[in-house]
Structure 1
Amino acid sequence: MEGLIIGWYGALAGLAIAIILILRKLNPVYALFLGAIVGALIGGANLEQTVSVLVSGTQSVMGTVLRVLAAGVLAGVMMESGAAEAIAQAIVKKFGGSKAILALALATMVITAMGVFIPVAVLIVAPIALSVGNKMGISKVALLLALSGGGKAGNIISPNPNTIAAARGFDLDLSHVMLAGLIPAVCGLIVTVILASLLKKKGIMVTTEEAANGTDTANTATYPPLSRAIVAPLVAIVLLMINPIGSISGIEALARLKVDALYILPLAGIIGMLAMGQGNKVLQYTSSGLSKMTATVLILIGAGGIAGLISASDLSNQVVHLIELSGISGTFLAPISGILMAAATASTSTGVIVATGSFGQAILDMGTAPLAAAVMVHTGATVIDSLPQGTYFHVTADSMKMTIKQRMGLIPYEAVVGGTMTIVATLVYGFLF
């Protein structure tokens, strides 16, 4: 495949075909692969070269895949043990009804930041939100915005597949990317609470029946105590932060201690399991975590295929040329690539994979530092990643008993939250530092 350059039109055609097929309900993995194959052929590759493009692209995501599978241990423990629910209940109870929107947004943010997938985090907090919304007279659109916005904020500081992809895409430690996302995440949380508070009396309200059905799923008697529920995420955070803390404080021994998330996340999950007295369920929890990661891993491999197509094409050169002609700063290539690729795939993690694999080198060539590039691509991928061709849109609509039309009305507000985090990340890391 050496010397092969696929025409930019082939890359765009492949991406368009993948999107259309996803919208037509074809499995996203097959849609991404088929788009990559047809795009490569349109762009001038022969059959043999097309296979090489796909193999090269999928090989590039294997490091991410390994770490995502490792994260399955922690995710399985948090979800199956009831630890995530216990933490959510504790946060909402602590803040009380008067600060319900802040409590719901913060609960979803914290759970996502602890390594639970954002759609799962929304599903966990949704029954609590329905109950609170019915009692306090808060509309469904405000409730779901609180959950989704809080989840987006937590997602950019979590050991989730999207953050792992952002770190691996620019050859960085996961902990550094998580820490760098903290300022944009806090700003995202603030904007979420403000917007949701303005919307709390607008739209459809939660019925008593919906609230009752939601709370039936929340059996608090089975939850572990909060002091034990937080052990697993606490261990993960402490171990992941050893290296950044050493770098910031100048403690050389800590700065040189680079323990990969591949080891830390499963270890934290197992320690948390033992702390909750559930060591005998290690097989059950790890099997559950693995099964929950399988779909994500397959989509990441499919995204690797389409990223291989785009990186083998001259599309990134064409985009750089357009940016130079427009006269805007090359720094904007990072957030723009994240926004566009996540919108195309309706997935934060897939968008980050495609953006880093396709535009990563071009972003660095324009003088952007790796950490700044990672944070800007990552936050950019949260702007319009909740479109109807993705599963997140439908999972969250079902969780709040909303119709497709009602759920569509939430997308602009979610874009404001993601846009705020992207603007903050671009200002802080693209221009100030």
Structure 2
Amino acid sequence: MEITTVGAVVGLVITIALIIKKIEAAYAMMVGALIGGLVGGAGLVNSVNYMIAGAQEMMPTIIRVLASGVLAGTLIKSGAATKIAEEIILVMGERRALLAIALSAMILTSVGVFVDVAVITVAPIAISVGNKLGYSKAALLIALVGGGKSGNTFSPNPNTIVAAENFDVSLSSVMVAGFIPGLVGLAVTVLIAAYIHKKRKLEDHEFIEDDKDVVTVNLPSIVGAITAPVVVIILLMLKPIFGLEVDPLVALPAGGLIGMVAMKKSKEMREYLSFGLKKMMPVGILLVGTGAIAGIIKASQLQYDLIALVEIIRLPEFLLAPISGILMSAATASCSAASAIASSTFASTITKAVSPLAGAAMVHAGANVFGTLPQGSFFHISANSVNMNLADRMKLLPADSLVGFAIAVTSTIIYGLIL
């Protein structure tokens, strides 16, 4: 039994509406999935079965995401993330302030810090620099958000993990595939931020209160701070270099634990593990809801109708990869959820036109485009990071979406046309 396209679309629309109404995203996706299945003609029993099957397919990803909490907890609670950001800005200097801010957010995200946490971590430093040099909040925020998006394209974060999982390719290969698109995203970010700086009048600045999760005192040395991400990168790169595969389930927590030892923070292990798990639990729960609605979409005619639409307007078949990621990011305003839904639903179809790695890279790049829409949490977190009101934050949506489009277009050119 298949669910109609109308049912799948109704489920997505209801999900978006509930998220905008501030209903917890996981519950919104479950409700949307159930109603979508019923409207699509599956009946109550079959709708529930599709939802459960979809959630079950997410379990390997959820386990890896929870394991990544060891790395995240270490980087954030030890002050390593803050130290890395400070060092980058110090080395780059005031003349390259916008580049330094964007680069800091990019690097923190790329080594496994969640993009919203990376923005919160760098924001106080960015505002301090901005106050000295006269940068507006708009320019600073674009540098932060664009840098975070750019780093997200080649990070060991849940969005990359789930894309690799569903296309059955290694996490390291998806990370490498996102590197050049990420650099293009960084360049576009700096250009847009510089343009905004020239066009917008300087606003009144307020120092934000330190986020309670961001450590600003007793920071480790820079060598100790980079140990955890360096170990993770080395372990993940063993497969493409030497053919020795180390699963992210091992590599991510191993990097975190070795980082604790390098920073002489072993006594704080329980605190870091607890913090990291708490940070990842909401993501794990979100992925359960994501799996539920993905199960409905996967069992529907939507994917076939999208393919038919691509054929009717004579688009190359490989464009289904970035388009599906972009559409799902617009629906969920979450890169992780978009990667999960698009990759689990369309992977088998996409791989008929391109290689699994190319499909994973393009879907993931597309999923980064609309991750800052108002129905998602990142929109509000990013606004609060620089004390910006929501009306002004809305005005910047075209700019940070343009960064995402630059990433998606670059990935599509490389993996859809060239390779």
Q: TM-score range by the shorter chain?
A: over 0.9
% identical aligned pairs: 47
Q: Retained in 2: the 8 A contact 1:71–1:262?
A: yes
Q: Distance in 2 between matches of 1:156 and 1:241?
A: 16
Which digits, 9 at most, give the CA deviation of each residue in 1:312-361, with x for residues without a partner?
Answer: 01110011011111111011100000001011001000011111122222
TM-score (norm 2): 0.97
1:348 aligns with 2:345: no
- Which residue identity lines up with residue 275 of structure 1 in the other structure? A
Aligned to 1:62: 59
Q: Distance in 2 between matches of 1:295 and 1:225?
A: 31
Q: CA deviation at 1:370?
A: 0.6
Q: Retained in 2: the 8 A contact 1:133–1:206?
A: no
1:412 aligns with 2:409: no
Q: 1:421 to 1:37 in 2, by over 3 A?
A: same
Aligned to 1:370: 356
Aligned to 1:251: none
SS of the residue corresponding to residue 387 of structure 2 reads coil
Aligned to 1:89: 86
Q: Distance in 2 between matches of 1:146 and 1:166?
A: 26
Q: 1:27 to 1:219 in 2, by over 3 A?
A: closer
Aligned to 1:248: none
Q: Retained in 1: the 8 A contact 2:79–2:214?
A: no
Q: Distance in 2 between matches of 1:164 and 1:119?
A: 17
Q: Retained in 2: the 8 A contact 1:125–1:147?
A: yes
- Which residue identity lines up with residue 342 of structure 1 in the other structure? S
Q: Distance in 2 between matches of 1:36 and 1:316?
A: 16
Aligned to 2:160: 163
SS of the residue corresponding to residue 115 of structure 1 reads coil
Q: 1:386 to 1:23 in 2, by over 3 A?
A: same
1:200 aligns with 2:186: no
Q: How many residues align?
A: 419
TM-score (norm 1): 0.94
Q: Which one of 269, 289, 307 corresponds to residue 282 of structure 1?
A: 269
Q: 1:324 to 1:218 in 2, by over 3 A?
A: closer
Q: 1:340 to 1:216 in 2, by over 3 A?
A: closer
Q: CA deviation at 1:215?
A: 10
| Equivalences for residues 356-395 of structure 1 within 5 A | 356-365=343-352, 367-395=353-381
Q: Which consecutive aligned stretches of 4+ in structure 1 deviate over 4 angstroms post-superposition?
A: 212-220
- Which residue identity lines up with residue 140 of structure 1 in the other structure? K
Which digits, 9 at most, give the CA deviation of each residue in 1:186-229, with x for residues without a partner?
Answer: 11111111111111144463545x13756999875411010111
Q: Retained in 2: the 8 A contact 1:184–1:424?
A: yes
Q: Retained in 2: the 8 A contact 1:138–1:201?
A: no
Runs of 5+ consecutive residues of structure 2 not aligned to the other structure: none
Aligned to 1:315: 302
Aligned to 1:250: none
Which digits, 9 at most, give the CA deviation of each residue in 1:392-429, with x for residues without a partner?
Answer: 00001001100111111111111111111111100111
Aligned to 1:76: 73
Runs of 5+ consecutive residues of structure 1 not aligned to the other structure: 246-253
Q: Distance in 2 between matches of 1:66 and 1:269?
A: 16
Q: Retained in 1: the 8 A contact 2:6–2:40?
A: yes
- Which residue identity lines up with residue 134 of structure 2 in the other structure? G
Q: Distance in 2 between matches of 1:78 and 1:98?
A: 28
SS of the residue corresponding to residue 200 of structure 1 reads helix
Which digits, 9 at most, give the CA deviation of each residue in 1:153-175, with x for residues without a partner?
Answer: 11111110001011111011100
Q: Distance in 1 between matches of 2:18 and 2:208?
A: 38
Q: Distance in 1 between matches of 2:299 and 2:202?
A: 50
Q: Distance in 1 between matches of 2:70 and 2:203?
A: 35
1:233 aligns with 2:257: no
- Which residue identity lines up with residue 337 of structure 2 in the other structure? T
